[in-house]
Amino acid sequence: MSVQNYQAYQQNSVQTASPGELTLMLYNGCIKFIKFAQQAFEKQDIAAKNKNIQKAQNIVRELMITLDPEVPITDEIMPLYDFINQQLIQANTKNDQEALNTAMELLIDFRDTWKEVVKQTRQQQFGNGASV
């Protein structure tokens, strides 16, 4: 697949995704950037570590601003997102790999839970043939 075809596929995937699928994409992107930051830590590439942690922080902030304040669970999720963001800041400013790992673990938990929600929603809408 050419680069242009892949980019068109990605753009189409985002444009046709449900809100739940978009949230899942955000989690996956955030996890991807944290993995890149972990690799940069290992290589002692400070610039790449900084760039990828900042990308992860941008996604966490996007997750925070898209929370619906009218939904009661927002009051429970927002402090966790804030904690993840603080862990990313600490990982970046203090070169704290443990803080980066903590952020990663929490985001994987969020992603896995959200993936199950999307799967169940699809099953309710389309029957048992849908999968994530």
Structural element, H or E, at residue 114? helix 97-126
Q: Establish if 8 belongs to a structural domain.
A: no
Q: Confidence band (pLDDT; 50, 70, 90) for 17?
A: confident
Rounded CA-CA distance 118/130 in Å is 10
Task: Give pTM, 2 decimals.
Answer: 0.84
The domain that holds 47 is classified in CATH as: 1.20.120.340
Q: Which domain holds residue 121?
A: 18-126
| Inter-residue long-range contacts of 75-84, CB under 8 Å, 24+ positions, other chains counted | 80/106, 80/110, 84/60
Whether residue 60 lies inside any domain: the answer is yes
Q: Is residue 76 situated within a structural domain?
A: yes
Domain presence at residue 77: yes
pLDDT tens for 81-112 read 999 999 999 999 999 999 999 999 999 999 99
